[in-house]
Amino acid sequence: MNEQESSSFARVLVVANSEATLTVLPEYLRQHGQFVAVTHESAQVLAHSAERLWDAVIIDLTPVAAGIDLVRQLYAQQPLLATIVLSSDCHATSIPTAIAAGVFSWLPAPCPLELVELAVVRARERRQLQRQATAAQASPGIAWQVVHTVNNQLAGITGLAQLHMADDLLNVDLRSDLEMILNSARRISDLLKPLSKH
C-alpha cells in the first residue's frame, strides 16, 4: 500500500470563480487536515483529474450550468470521482440535472463550512471503500482460503459432537447441547457456501 492509499487526509481540488470559495474554504479544509489545491479554470480541473487521483472536486461556478457541465465531463472521465457542487441556484430543474450528470453532493450556497467538510469526509470514505473493493477483487483467493480454514474447523467440531452423541448413556441435557452445536455448525457451513463459489 503506497502513501497515497494509506494517508488519512482527503485530496480535494476546488474550482470556483468566487474569491471566498477560492480562499476561505481551502484554508478551512487545510486547517482540518485536508490536502487542497485550487483553480478557477475548468480545463485545469480536467487536466488535474486525469493526472492525479482526487477524493473530491468541489465546484462553485457561476452560472450553475457551467458547474453541471464540469460535473458531466468529470463523470465521463472518472465515474468514481466525487463531485461536490456549491450553488445558490435551487431551481427545480438544476438539482435533477446535476444528479443526472453524476454529482455526488449538492450543497446550497452560502453553506456552513462544516457541511462542506462533512461531504469531503464522505467522499474520502467512499474512495477508501472503492480501494478495498478493488483489492478484494484482485485477490479472490483470500476469501476461498478463509472459507477453507473455517470449514476445516467446523468439520472437527461436527465430528467430535457426533462422536459423543453416539454414546447411548449420554444424558438428555448434554445431547441437547450437542445438537445445538451441530445445528450451529451446519448454519455456519451453509452461510459460507456462496463464498466458496467465488
Over the stretch 61-73, which tens digit does the pLDDT of each residue have? Answer: 999 999 999 999 9
Burial of 197 (0-12, 13-18, 19+ CB in 10 A): exposed
Burial of 144 (0-12, 13-18, 19+ CB in 10 A): middle
How many other C-beta atoms can be found within 10 angstroms of the C-beta atom of residue 60? 25
CATH topology of domain 3-138: Rossmann fold (3.40.50)
Q: What is the mean pLDDT of residues 13-37?
A: 93
Over the stretch 124-150, which tens digit does the pLDDT of each residue have? Answer: 888 887 777 666 666 556 566 777 778
Helix axes 42-51, 64-77, angle to 10 degrees: 20
The confidence score (pLDDT) of residue 38 equals 94
Over the stretch 170-187, which tens digit does the pLDDT of each residue have? Answer: 788 887 888 888 888 887
Helix (H, G, I), strand (E, B) or coil at 112: coil
